[in-house]
Chain A
Amino acid sequence: MMVLRRFEIHQPKDVAEACEMLAHYGEKGRLYAGGTELLLAMKHNLLRYDHLVDIKVVRGLDRIEPSDSKLVIGATVTHRAIEKSSVVRERIPVLAEMEARVANVRVRATGTLGGNLCFAEPHSDPAALLLALGARLQIQGKSASRTVAMNEFIVGPYETCLAPDEVLTAVEIPVPAPSARAAYLKFQIHERPTLGLALVLDTEDNGETIRSARAVVGSVCLTPSRSDKADALLVGPRSQVERQLGDAAEILADEADLADDLEGGADYKRHLIGVFLKRAFLKALSR
């Protein structure tokens, strides 16, 4: 059996104290939430910390708060809580659908949205969809707070923009307009997705015209990836966009910096992006 090396668990009373603890322990400490990724890496001795700061004990971070224009999901809300949330299902159904298919039922019961994003594992389903939805992340540090966009937050594989004393406290997700259509599809061979493809469209004329679009690919690349150029090709009359899907997929693939690995060759992944962009487009518009 694999065993975790010794560490201590700390229970901050609020976010400010969590920030102070993180600042105090520096490289020997790490924020701990669901632990589904972190503890695996620690079991394999890939990461080692003497101190874990349990952010779940801080009150108020496990809430989903709706407002007119956005949902604010606390960092320690579990995947399962998002999947089952009636407000999420009603206002951003694509988010609930994506969450219902993250990993397996056990990971969803313990893993948190904040933990998933902060670990920045390249095969994250939420990261890809949240980038497409234009989510912003609320961050609190020892002395200041800030809000950043998804693409500013995840800066590399297993790497975020968080300073050593900073804590992700919540994710703000704009509620798509009633005219919006969205889909998240993934292709999976092993335990983690080979490709995640998120597409959010704003439409008019009952889906016959696309006013704006955001397409994101995840898992095939080190961080979720999108392109203004690709999105531009996804705007216009539906029939025209359908003809341009192939070109948009090529641009997305160029942008994603695809590599050969166990999940497949770069050319296969490029091909999959084309297949799944088309499927996501049809799925989004079929709603």
Chain B
Amino acid sequence: MKIQFQLNGKPTEVEFEPQETLAEVLRDRLNLTGTKVSCEVQVCGACTVLVDGLPVSACTLLAYEARNRDVLTIEGLARPNGTLHPIQQAFIDEFAFQCGYCTPGMILASKALLDENPAPSEAEIKEYMDGNICRCTGYVPIIKAIQRAAKVMSGQ
């Protein structure tokens, strides 16, 4: 099948078989390998991408579901000139990753959170992000990065 959708702000058309997941199509057909696949049972969040602004598990969502929708992957977050999104910069500044495998999903989940709730409390961060697993950092630096990004994004 063939679908059209907005991918990282660009109109995109792609052909694939119906059983292919969004992660497969992004990684194998569109060469966007920033989306990582880990647990494959929608527990870990490594494959998180945003569809119409909401986080989904690309490892389980069919690519078919992207038709006519707006998909944001980690590759689409920085500005075209390379300027990092404030969340990306905050992840670097706070050492909010180590191996980096959970990071694309973690950053996109953070973006969905901050778009919905620009000044989340620590408790709200923990609740929203609870479905994204990081095995390296022990999470504290990620919370700090989200708090830092929230401040930058709200112009504080």
Contact = CB atoms under 8 A, between A and B. Distances in A.
Contacts of A9: 1, 18, 62, 64
Given A9-B64, A40-B60, A80-B54, A107 B42 contact: yes
A209 to B, nearest CB: 35
A187 interface: no
A105 to B, nearest CB: 6
A4 B21 contact: yes
A8 B1 CA distance: 10
Given A5-B19, A6-B17, A105-B109, A43 B60 contact: yes
B95 interface: no
A103 B60 contact: no
A35 interface: yes
Interface string A30-46: 00000110011001000
B40 A2 contact: yes
B56 A109 contact: yes
Interface in B44-101: 45, 48, 51, 54-57, 60-62, 64-65
A251 B117 CA distance: 43
A1 interface: yes
Interface of B: 1, 17-21, 24, 37, 40-43, 45, 48, 51, 54-57, 60-62, 64-65, 109, 112, 128, 130-132
A7 B19 contact: yes
Indicate the member of B1, B45, B51, B61 with the most A CB atoms within 10 Å: B61
A106 B42 contact: yes
Interface residues of A, number: 25
Contacts of A191: 41, 43
A160 interface: no
Given A6-B19, A109-B54, A109-B55, A43 B62 contact: no
A17 B56 CA distance: 29
Contact of A104 (B37, B51, B54, B130): B130
Contacts of A147: none
15 contacts: A4-B20, A6-B19, A7-B19, A9-B1, A35-B65, A36-B42, A40-B42, A103-B131, A105-B55, A105-B109, A105-B128, A106-B56, A106-B109, A109-B51, A110-B65
Given A80-B54, A109-B56, A40 B41 contact: yes
A106 B17 contact: no
Contacts of B37: 1
B18 A8 contact: yes
Nearest to A84: B116
Contact of B40 (A1, A8, A52, A80): A1
A48 to B, nearest CB: 11
A5 B55 CA distance: 25
A106 B21 contact: no
Interface in A160-205: 191
Interface string A10-51: 000000000000000000000000011001100100000000
Contacts of B65: 35, 110
Given A2-B40, A35-B65, A105-B131, 8 more contacts: A3-B19, A35-B60, A35-B62, A39-B21, A39-B62, A104-B43, A105-B109, A105-B128
